[in-house]
Structure 1
Amino acid sequence: MVDLDEPIHVVAYGPAWAQMGHELVRDLSRQLVWASADVEHIGSTSVPGLDAKPVIDVQVGCASAHIPAVVEAIQRLGFEHLGPAGVPGREYLRRRSVHPANVHVMECNGQLWKDNLLLRDFLMARPDLARRYARTKHAAAGQASTLLAYSALKEHTIAEIMAAARQAG
């Protein structure tokens, strides 16, 4: 199995990210129709104007019984499977080719599914918090050049934004 940690960099928002996310959602939805999977563009690249790592994140939700077969189908599309990668209830896959992407497979409508959508939608509705999060991301990337350290440096801000999102919800 490949190591989860990898070099990262944060860049200014890319207007093409929305289209790339849409295309990946469309392609995965077509490939996974047999599993009645829901596919959503999530993460920072799904929030207009938010600086991010130039990697498209999507989540695939399906019945828990379908998760192993869904993971296998996504692997056949050129994604490497890294297991839960520290997040219980999720199977993490990544592709680092021309269009880098992460796919998070989980039970549809479970708590993780709902939390990812809540965070995305809250940041879309609150540009002030998206700007704060972007500052945190740039500061974290300035202190840590690899994924795991970078992610750890952002945890506190993400927890605060999630708490505000839940309170507002």
Structure 2
Amino acid sequence: MDLDEPIHVVAYDPAWVQMGHELVRNLSRRLEWASANVEHIGSTAVPGLDAKPVIDVQVGCASAQIPGVVEAIRRCGFEHLGPAGVPGREYLRRRSGHSANVHVMEHGGQLWADNLLFRDFLIGRPDLARRYARSKHEAANQASYLLAYSALKEGPVAEIMAEARRVR
């Protein structure tokens, strides 16, 4: 299983919000036994933000439940890729039907909080969301594969996170 894959950034699609809600609802129902919290995160959760057309959700649960939660999501047709370079996270993806990524982590941990802070800060700051969209397009123009694209976005993401932490 190769983490790297071709990417493209497209104009915002209002359907992403509903697709995210549906995935959150479906996973929440399947993971009731784990008392898991599921949130739509990433660029597709930010109205008006151009993005890769892939819905990202994070699933938070007790650390002891992570293996069972990962297995339950895998049985829903997701491919498990391990931490995929992010300590404290288990990454799963689905590329059939509506493409989606699921990030499983300890609920309430730093990664959980950072993902929500980033999303909510961009929702509240459309000017920064537009600036971030420009950086995403620039990165995609320079790199058509996920790992290189992600590396090119590290600077803009760090700047946005630093500002979000300053004002919270």
Query: What TM-score bracket applies, with the shorter chain setting the length?
Result: over 0.9
How far, CA to CA, are the matches of 2:97 and 2:157 in structure 1?
29
**1:98 CA displacement:** 1.3
Q: CA deviation at 1:123?
A: 0.1
CA distance in 1, matches of 2:94, 2:50: 20
Q: 1:86-101, aligned counterparts within 5 Å?
A: 86-101=85-100
Task: Give the TM-score taking structure 1 as reference length.
Answer: 0.99
Compute the displacement of 1:6 (Å).
0.1
Q: How many residues end up aligned between the 2 structures? A: 168
What are the superposed Cα offsets for residues 83-105 of structure 1, whole Å, 9 maximum, x if unpaired? 00000000000000110000000
CA deviation after TM superposition for structure 1 residue 119, in Å: 0.1
Which secondary structure does the structure 1 equivalent of 2:133 belong to? Answer: helix
Normalised by the length of structure 2, the TM-score is 1.00
Return the letter of the residue paired with 1:30: R
Partner amino acid for 1:101? A
What is the one-letter code of the residue matched to 2:113? Answer: K
| Structure-2 separation of matches of 1:75 and 1:165 | 33
Give the SS at the match of 1:11.
Answer: coil
Distance 1:14 1:155 in 2: 24
CA distances 1:69-91 after superposition (whole Å, capped 9, x unpaired):
00000000000000000000000
* Distance (whole Å) between structure 1 residues aligned to residue 78 and residue 56 of structure 2: 12
Aligned AA (1:122): F
Code of the aligned partner of 1:168: V
RMSD: 0.2
Read off the aligned partner of 2:121 and give its amino acid letter.
F
For 1:83, the aligned partner's letter is G
% identical aligned pairs: 82
Q: List 4+ stretches of structure 1 deviating above 4 A.
A: none
- Pairs within 5 Å for 1:54-73: 54-73=53-72
Rounded to whole Å, the distance in 2 between the matches of 1:168 and 1:78 is 39
Within-5 A mapping of 1:128-143: 128-143=127-142
Q: What is the aligned partner in structure 2 of residue 3 from structure 1?
A: 2
